Amino acid sequence: MVQLPPRARVVVIGGGVIGTSTAYHLADAGWDVVLLERDRITSGTTWHAAGLMVTFGSTSETSTEFRKYTRDLYSRLEAETGQSTGFMPVGFIELATEPGRLEEYRRVSAFNRYCGVDVQEISAQEVLDLFPLARVDDVLAGFYVAEDGRANPVDVTMALAKGARLKGATILEGVAVTGVTTAGSGASRHVTGVSTAYGDIECEYVVNCAGMWARQLGEQSGVSIPLQAAEHYYLITEEFDGISKSHPVLEDPRNFGYFREEGGGLMVGLFEAVCAPWHVDRIPDSASFLELPPDWDRMAPYLEAAMSRVPITNDVGIRKFFCGPESFTADLAPVVGEAPEVRNYFVAAGLNSIGILTGGGMGRMLAHWITTGRPDVDITGFNIDRLQTYQRNPEYRATRTVESLGRVYACHYPDHNPHTARGAKLSPLHQRLEAQRAWFRDVSGWENPGWYAPEGHEPDQGEETWGRPHWFDWWAAEHHAARNDVVLMDMSFMAKFLVQGKDAGARLNWVSANDVDGEAGVITYTQWLDELGRLEADLTVTKLDDETFWVVASDTAQRHVETHLRRHFDGHHAFVTDVTGGYAQINVQGPRSRELLQTLTTSDLSNGAFPFRAAREIDLGFARALCIRITYVGELGYELYVPAEQAVHVYDRIVAAGPAFGLRHAGTKALASLRMEKGYRDYGHDIDNTDTVLEAGLGFAVALDKPGGFLGRDAVVAQKAAGPLRKRLVQVVVEDPEPMLVHAEVVRRDGVPLGYVRAASYGHTLGAAVGLAMLEADEPIDAAYLSSGTWTVEIADRQWPCRASLRPLYDPANEKVKG
């Protein structure tokens, strides 16, 4: 009979690499931790991982930090615990065999070098010298990291478990958590303990690290964890001469395969283009050390392609064709963080086949988050609350997962659009926009127009490219229409909330850095901050009357914003209702937007009667709409919030009146290029939870003097008092009109790297690629600093001269917006 401790501060559920790493780091922070494993440590997915240890390959700073930290941790754990991790820095080579991939890896390696990964581009001959068994006739280049290599996943996990025990953690095997107990309701519902067949353990926090079981365990507590297991394969050949343990790891994504030595032969790992979800209904509770029957027929073409890279694998016998399940997510990012549904219920699951090589960093970050209350790296792309609850539906998971695993080895061109699980959310205008030849992309499940094909053309994306896509000129025309005439944009995917109650204004004002509770009928742009003055959210709040507010945030922030409000409204007369699907958002933007709309309403839209930031309900044909004069493109413009059932009517009226004003439909590609020229921020893209509001350049939206203060105010005041900033977001414009910026391009001043482009677009008015880069320097970053240096941005392997500016290079005085 297992003896359970009656209580612990944290219970970690699951003894795979993620659970043990989390327990290790929590124990290291001095916390009282119990880890419960249903069967034996590693018995889930971890036991059969290939153990590739790769720091190269990501353009996420967070993921790269995880990878570097993990590699360092696994190199030092043996000295600390006496248990080897099997880590061997045998080197890692990524092959580029097509121009698109060469460009991608050059871009990635420049960014990875900036992050401290020593990656070298090597020739085909050098690949052959390092891996003489490979065929290199089609190799354009290899990307080589000498310090990367391989580890033994079971040994890694045992070492983490041992290290955790040495630091005071209790690890119990053979104890399945049958439920997480909670108390309270609504926003105050919180974890109180876990139940097992051997009794309960009281705890303050749980961390669900139950791998592919995490979803069903979460569901028991009403926590949505949209991940899905899928088959994942490698083949192991018989032993043969000419291969040794010191052989580097070789990855050939174009041919779906990777190679490393295993037992005197080769392991041929696979990431097939079209994969097979496993047990969409429910992962069997008792499944341990699983080996699934391999689907030879489905996998044969991929095996053949992979083995063609190392021809000897065709001549030696096959010892094993292994298939095991691994968890995947819709966007190939893990599911991490505190569940919106239950306080102190943390999750770390859905590792998308990089759980071993990121596990150390993941555990470190999670322990930091739990023990300090906030993560210390950008988690906007990983946070559990970016995901929507419909994504856990069986049909969604079954459909999207077919695509996920294959994306790992795809060439990651910009503007990629998933092709599975489409049509989940349609704007009321969908059919109208389809008739306008919209090219739809998946925006948090919404079908949203990225751009429109002109009459006589089909909205085909065409070939993916790092250069100018075939629709570049159509995109440019939409951009220019917004600058010169007027455009209509369907933005119905934006997250919309009705906030009501006697305390609504005061509570909103407490969480908002700007003053959002002034005059009614006014929209206010604001950030929400944490106690350290760092960004929690970036959004608008419109005061409709003393007890009614309209809050709008970006699609990916939908659950984050709602959760944040609920938690800050708890115990007050303030209530939030998500009305996203109830209203279409139709944006009419551009210098002729007022003229156009004025023909459709009896409300006076003149500058005097309806100034910038005004918000009023207006008549439009037979409809009533909330009309807000605000812009995210840097022009005179209006956002119309129309009840879903009247959206088509309003749209038809606008389109019918449009020709006289040069109205054009515009998609979110134009939105991106317009806002980027104006330097407007996008949370989760160019600003994130690691930036303070001042570093983000948003000090103008902070009302330091408003009565009652606001959350994070002291930190803002302290940072102001500390003197000029050495970390700041700047706009970067390439001097040459040709190259395209995407993301992660390194920015240098006088040859010294200071940061990278976090988000970018093409500035059709500025005439060149434009981005926002967060820079950090040894001296204050101000206008003089920016104008005195020689600036370059590294795109693939070339340095391109650029300008760097704190003020937007398009309409810095805001004349267009307020006119």
In sequence order, the β-bridge partners of residue 587 are 489, 639
Q: By CB under 6 A, is residue 15 in contact with ligand FAD?
A: yes
Q: How far is the CB of 214 from ligand FAD (least distance, A)?
A: 7
* Burial of 125 from C-beta contacts in 10 A (0-12 / 13-18 / 19+): exposed
Q: Give the separation between CA 370 and CA 711, rounded to whole angstroms.
A: 20
Among 352-360, 640-648, 715-723, 807-815, the segment contacting ligand FAD (CB under 6 A): 352-360
Q: How far is the CB of 209 from ligand FAD (least distance, A)?
A: 5
Q: By CB under 6 A, is residue 17 in contact with ligand FAD?
A: yes
Q: By CB under 6 A, is residue 160 in contact with ligand FAD?
A: no
Q: Give the separation between CA 82 and CA 641, rounded to whole angstroms.
A: 63
Binding string, residues 192-211; x marks residues near ligand FAD by CB under 6 A: -----------------xxx
Q: How far is the CB of 353 from ligand FAD (least distance, A)?
A: 4
269/697 with CB nearer ligand FAD: 269
Q: By CB under 6 A, is residue 362 in contact with ligand FAD?
A: no
Task: Using alpha carbons, select from 582, 588, 660, 579 the residue that is nearest to residue 620.
Answer: 588
Q: How far is the CB of 224 from ligand FAD (least distance, A)?
A: 17
Do residues 704 and 716 make contact, with C-beta atoms less than 8 angstroms apart? yes
Q: How far is the CB of 322 from ligand FAD (least distance, A)?
A: 6
HEC string of 506-543 equals HHHHHHECCCCCCCCCEEEEEEEECCCCEEEEEEEEEE
Q: Give the separation between CA 793 and CA 804, rounded to whole angstroms.
A: 10
> Which residues lie closer than 8 Å to 160 by C-beta, 6 or more apart?
17, 20, 21, 23, 24, 77, 359, 360, 363
Among 40-48, 90-98, 122-130, 493-501, the segment contacting ligand FAD (CB under 6 A): 40-48
Query: Tokens standing for 50?
Result: 């290939």
Instruction: Give 88's DSSP letter.
Output: B
Task: Using alpha carbons, select from 145, 655, 188, 232 the residue that is nearest to residue 406.
Answer: 232
Q: By CB under 6 A, is residue 152 in contact with ligand FAD?
A: no
Q: How far is the CB of 22 from ligand FAD (least distance, A)?
A: 9
Task: Using alpha carbons, select from 343, 339, 274, 560 the residue that is nearest to residue 444.
Answer: 560
Among 7-15, 93-101, 431-439, 500-508, the segment contacting ligand FAD (CB under 6 A): 7-15
Q: How many residues bind ligand FAD (CB under 6 A)?
A: 39
> Which residues lie closer than 8 Å to 601 by C-beta, 6 or more apart?
618, 619, 620, 627
**What is the maximal distance between C-alpha atoms in the chain?**
86
Among 39-47, 133-141, 499-507, 738-746, the segment contacting ligand FAD (CB under 6 A): 39-47
Q: By CB under 6 A, is residue 641 in contact with ligand FAD?
A: no
291/738 with CB nearer ligand FAD: 291
Which residues from 295-334 bind ligand FAD, rule CB under 6 A? 324, 326
Q: Give the separation between CA 200 and CA 4, rounded to whole angstroms.
A: 8
237/353 with CB nearer ligand FAD: 353
Q: How far is the CB of 589 from ligand FAD (least distance, A)?
A: 44
Q: By CB under 6 A, is residue 44 in contact with ligand FAD?
A: yes
Q: How far is the CB of 39 from ligand FAD (least distance, A)?
A: 5
Which residues from 209-268 bind ligand FAD, rule CB under 6 A? 209-213, 217, 232, 234
CB crowding 283-302: b at 16 or more within 10 Å, else e: beeebeebebebeeeebeeb
Q: By CB under 6 A, is residue 551 in contact with ligand FAD?
A: no
Among 36-44, 162-170, 393-401, 528-536, the segment contacting ligand FAD (CB under 6 A): 36-44
Q: By CB under 6 A, is residue 73 in contact with ligand FAD?
A: no
Q: Render 128-156 in DSSP notation, one character per residue.
A: HHH-TTS--TT--EEEEETT-EE--HHHH
Q: Give the separation between CA 36 and CA 349, rounded to whole angstroms.
A: 16
Q: Give the separation between CA 680 and CA 187, rounded to whole angstroms.
A: 32
Q: By CB under 6 A, is residue 405 in contact with ligand FAD?
A: no
Q: How far is the CB of 745 from ligand FAD (least distance, A)?
A: 27
Q: How far is the CB of 72 from ligand FAD (least distance, A)?
A: 15
Q: Give the separation between CA 178 and CA 29, rounded to whole angstroms.
A: 27
Among 100-108, 350-358, 373-381, 676-684, the segment contacting ligand FAD (CB under 6 A): 350-358
3-state helix, strand, coil in the chain (%, to 5): 30, 30, 40
Q: Give the separation between CA 806 and CA 783, rounded to whole angstroms.
A: 7
Q: By CB under 6 A, is residue 357 in contact with ligand FAD?
A: yes
CA distances from 330 to 66, 130, 396, 403 (A): 21, 36, 9, 8
HEC string of 243-279 equals CCCCCCEEEEHHHCEEEEEECCEEEEEECCCCCCECC
Among 346-354, 564-572, 619-627, 754-762, the segment contacting ligand FAD (CB under 6 A): 346-354
Which residues from 459-518 bind ligand FAD, rule CB under 6 A? none
352/731 with CB nearer ligand FAD: 352
Q: Which of 355, 591, 634, 771 binds ligand FAD (CB under 6 A)?
A: 355
Q: Which of 5, 9, 32, 39 binds ligand FAD (CB under 6 A)?
A: 39
Q: Which of 34, 73, 160, 176 binds ligand FAD (CB under 6 A)?
A: 176
Q: By CB under 6 A, is residue 177 in contact with ligand FAD?
A: yes
Among 35-43, 75-83, 369-377, 430-438, the segment contacting ligand FAD (CB under 6 A): 35-43
Q: Which of 4, 26, 37, 378 binds ligand FAD (CB under 6 A)?
A: 37
Do residues 17 and 134 make contact, with C-beta atoms less than 8 angstroms apart? no
Q: How far is the CB of 261 from ligand FAD (least distance, A)?
A: 13
Q: How many CB atoms lie within 10 A of CB 400?
A: 24
Binding site for ligand FAD (CB under 6 A): 13-19, 36-39, 43-46, 48-52, 176-177, 209-213, 217, 232, 234, 324, 326, 349, 351, 353-357
